[in-house]
Structure 1
Amino acid sequence: MTGDAFRVRHVDLDAIDADADAGDSPSLSIFWWKDLPVGMRASLPDELPYTKARLRQFTAEFSAAQMAARSTSLGAPIQATDEGRPKSALSLAAAFEAKNLIDGLDELATASSASAQDISVVICTRDRGPALAECLRSLAGQRSAPGEIIVVDNSRDGNARMVCMQFAEVRYIHEARPGLSVARTAGIRVSRQAIIAFTDDDVEVHAGWTAEIARAFAEHDVEALTGLVLPARLDTVAQRSFQFDMGGFGTTFVPLVFGRRFFEETRPNGAHVWRIGAGANMAFRRSVFDRIGLFDERLGAGAAGCSEDSEFWYRLLATGGACLYEPRIVVFHHHRSDWPGLRRQMRAYMKGHVAALVVQYDNFGDRGNIVRIWKKLPAYFLRTFLRTLFEGPPGRIGILAAEVEGWLAGLQFLLRFGWRKRRTLPPQALAEEKT
């Protein structure tokens, strides 16, 4: 589905009974029930507009998943499985027959009014002034204002200062040392609130973002949160390839707890912590940084490439913590719009992933990380090559080549012994893992 531009449209199933706004172009329809995101579907023009019956089916299907995952009688939110996704406990037929279906969805879709004054929002930016301005405008429209907004400018010349001066509520910090982890650490150190939320400068946040973060931490005893990352636009081939061929940042619309079960099930092949979420939409209790340390400055954009977020989640789970994925916490991400940019991104992702696997092995001695480097990733490359050779889509081979290049570049970290000795794991975390 990468040939023609896709229109990203948002459909409130509670507000319409006929799909009159479909248009004549391919669409990625993101379905909501009031303020609750419930699912998405990609459709070609001949599948649109959706009929009333189809919309009713969507409502029943999505409500089945929501009620299964969020019903307190079922012990929600449910634990993530080894695949990082839930298994529905409510059938589609049962959802159709449920007399209280609408009442149940209405209750689930109640927007949070929780105060966000205990939240510090940290945005790390580098040479992307216009994008940063859009991000800050979306934060200015929050229905629960955060306690503070901190922009960490990681550019050499401090070029984000002029953008930040347009927003009176923003605290500006210049961190000239390059690296996303370095910038995030700078943001943590100057922040004042008990909860620290991160998003990126190429993101626009939903109006309820901070309120939903506050509600989730109030209702659940976890140290970390991640949320739903939706595409802002799918105008270009590169954007559509990232969303449809590479999976974007995930498509799960029900909450999941990533804890000990998930970690132990996936540990033999390198715990699948990248399934937990994305650094563009994550939040932490301040206490977790005291317990397991800060982001590893060897990882992330400007250093090894990426995966500083997933390595942090690995540490969190390995030392007995848990992370809640809550799709009520919504942001809209602007994917790379040009093909060279996407190739560079995927190369960096794979290089950083390998670097993080090395760090995880050094910190905890889990051989599954080495198994993933030498066995699981080459097997993934081969499967992808064979599938793409016969089924397409066009351009996937080029992205695969970038991933292989990133893997090869990442192997250097196995031999960089000085780099490997620069561990950032606190003694307390090591002690917790041993027990």
Structure 2
Amino acid sequence: MTADSFKVRHVDLAVANSGGHGEPALSIFWWRDLPLGARASLQDELPYGASQLHQLAAEFAAAQLEARGNGLGAPLRATYEGWPKPALSLEAALEAENLVESLEEFAISSSASADDISVVICTRDRGPALADCLRSVAAQRSTPGEIIVVDNSSDGNAKGVCGQFANVRYVHEPQPGLSHARNAGIRASRLNIIAFTDDDVEVHPGWTAEIGRAFADRDVDALTGLVLPARLDTAAQCCFQFTMGGFGTTFVPLTFDRRFFEETRPSGAHVWKIGAGANMAFQRSVFERVGMFDERLGAGAAGCSEDSELWYRLLATGGACLYEPRAVVFHHHRSDWQGLKRQIRAYMKGHVAALVAQYDNFGDRGNIVRIGKQLPVYFLKTFVKALFEGPPGRLAILASEVQGWVAGLQFLLRFGWRKRRIAMRVAAADAKGIAK
């Protein structure tokens, strides 16, 4: 894609909307409240014709039927090779009777109660963004049992914003670090399901209802959901979404379980594929069993990956996480290049730190293999491809990734930092205080 900005358009295929025209667009396709897929198109590729929309509907319906249909082992289980492909070919999907109509069943909006859900939002010096986030949470069709804002600023500047919203509980956690803030939210929460989102996110009106339905229908310990871009107005935002992959683009449910963990373990279990901390939820029992977020990791500490490290512990001890794209949030990506490069550097630094922590906790050498072999190979392949094929700005982002990797290597030599690793039995004992 060569455009520096894309209009984010939401197209409901149930009403045969063409998706508009006039400028490059990322079209997010829905069937009523069910997200189906996304396509990026340049100006001369729009608008979509009726036959194109019909073909897209058939393709998406085949994928949803495979993933959600009764008797087909739904939801699909993630594997080392990636996500399973629909068994139906596109030709078969176009010829199948009532295939598109099956979307109506899958698209029924959840009416599940959210009374047992604590929503935790961690924030730091983002008053206007926090207000937008809280407005979206207040508009949920299933009102959560409680809403907790954890202010991680030094001066408690989010308190005034929280005072503008009814039924929002304010918690000040001055110890810097996202993991400190999330753990403070867990301790403050009272309910059995704890859902997390971020202050640069707006949630879909059905977010809490879909979380409630997923935990009611599936025997899983944790859940992640679909994170869509709110806007793609700048080249930096487009780079993060299209070149770096955003926060994932899978539109069918997947189960991440012990099989996935064991298949990917030799190369460092690929837990970062499970989802994003901007859209995740846990049974309270998870924290009682495996401990809370590692406060050495995350924004304000090592950089990030406190969420994936927790998923690592969960899967390593026999737990399972469901990715359910019906639980949707909209993320505001970094809009400027400097902000994006800082973010990518922090992501890679935190990723390496989490790999070190995972090795220390479980002795899985695949984590060290990823640090010392897989990531350098990835850097080299990306450099060669970017040198000859682009896209513009990719080499600068790669430089930030390499800088983050180098910065993360320090954690291999910080023996005092490594001695503070989470011992499973100690973490579980420390977490008893959150049991209600």
**Bin for the TM-score computed over the shorter chain:** over 0.9
Work out the CA distance in 2 between the residues paired with 1:4 and 1:298: 37
- Which ranges of structure 1 fall in alignment gaps of 5 or more residues? 431-435
Counterpart residue type for residue 309 of structure 1: D
Paired residue total: 429
1:252, 1:297 → 2: CA distance? Answer: 30
Which residue of 2 is the match for residue 433 of structure 1? Answer: none
> Contact conserved, 1:4 with 1:26, CA < 8 A, in 2?
no
Of 188, 193, 197, 1:199 maps to 197
Separation of aligned partners in 1, 2:34 and 2:426: 39
* Paired residue secondary structure (1:291): helix
- The CA distance in 2 between the partners of 1:429 and 1:323, in whole Å, is 20
Deviation at 1:84, TM superposition (A): 3.8
Residue deviations 1:396-427 (CA, integer Å, cap 9, x gap): 00000000000000000000001001122322
- Asked if 1:385 corresponds to 2:383, the answer is yes
The answer for the alignment partner of 1:367 in structure 2 is: 365
- Three-state SS of the structure 2 residue aligned to 1:252 is coil
1: distance between equivalents of 2:267 and 2:409?
A: 17
1:118/1:193 contact within 8 Å kept: yes
Q: Counterpart of 1:106?
A: 104
Distance in structure 1 (CA, Å) of the matches to 2:187 and 2:70 = 37
Structure 2 partner of 1:322:
320
Match of 2:346 in 1: 348
* Matched residue SS, 1:249: coil
What's the secondary structure of 2:47's corresponding residue?
coil
- Counterpart amino acid of residue 261 in structure 1: R
Q: Map 1:100-139 onto structure 2 (within 5 A).
A: 100-139=98-137
Residue matched to 1:6: 6
1:37/1:328 contact within 8 Å kept: yes
Question: What is the CA deviation profile of residues 25-55 of structure 1, one whole-angstrom value per residue up to 9, with x for unaligned ones?
Answer: 0000000001100000000011111010000
Q: Which amino acid aligns with 1:3?
A: A
2:100 aligns to what SS in structure 1? helix
Query: Aligned partners of 1:310, 1:402: CA distance in 2, in Å?
Result: 21
* 1:51 partner amino acid: G
Q: CA deviation at 1:94?
A: 2.5
CA deviations 1:79-130 (Å, max 9, x no partner) are 1011442221222222222222233110000000000000000000000000
Task: Report the CA distance between 1:2 and its aligned residue.
Answer: 4.8
In the aligned structure 1, how far is the partner of 2:326 from the partner of 2:71?
20
CA deviations over 1:319-375 (Å, ceiling 9, x no partner): 111100000000000000010000000000000000000000000000000000000
Q: Matched residues in 1 for 2:3 and 2:96: separation?
A: 40
Contact kept, 8 Å, 1:126 with 1:153, in 2: the verdict is yes
Q: Which moved more, 1:84-93 or 1:409-418?
A: 84-93
**By how many angstroms is 1:169 displaced?**
1.3
Secondary structure of the corresponding residue to residue 349 of structure 1: helix
Structure 2: state its 5+ residue gaps: 429-436
**Aligned counterpart for 2:276 among listed residues 278, 284, 297:** 278
Query: Contact (CA 8 Å) 2:210, 2:327: kept in 1 or not?
Result: yes
Aligned to 2:169: 171
Matched residue, 2:15:
15
Deviations along 1:46-80, one digit per CA (max 9) or x if unpaired, are 11110100000000000010000111210100110
Letter in 2 for 1:373: I
> Which shows bigger deviation, 108-117 or 74-83?
74-83
Q: Where does residue 297 of structure 1 map in the other structure?
A: 295
Find the aligned partners of 1:357 and 1:135 in 2 and give their Cα distance. 31
SS, match of residue 170 in structure 2: strand
Deviation at 1:291, TM superposition (A): 0.4
Identical columns (%): 75
Give the partner amino acid of 1:9. Answer: R
C-alpha distance in 2 between matches for 1:163 and 1:99: 52
Task: Report the RMSD for the aligned CA atoms in angstroms.
Answer: 1.3
Q: For residue 3 of structure 1, report the CA deviation from its aligned partner.
A: 3.0
Distance in 2 (alpha carbons) for counterparts of 1:281 and 1:425:
27
1:223 offset after TM fit, Å? 0.3
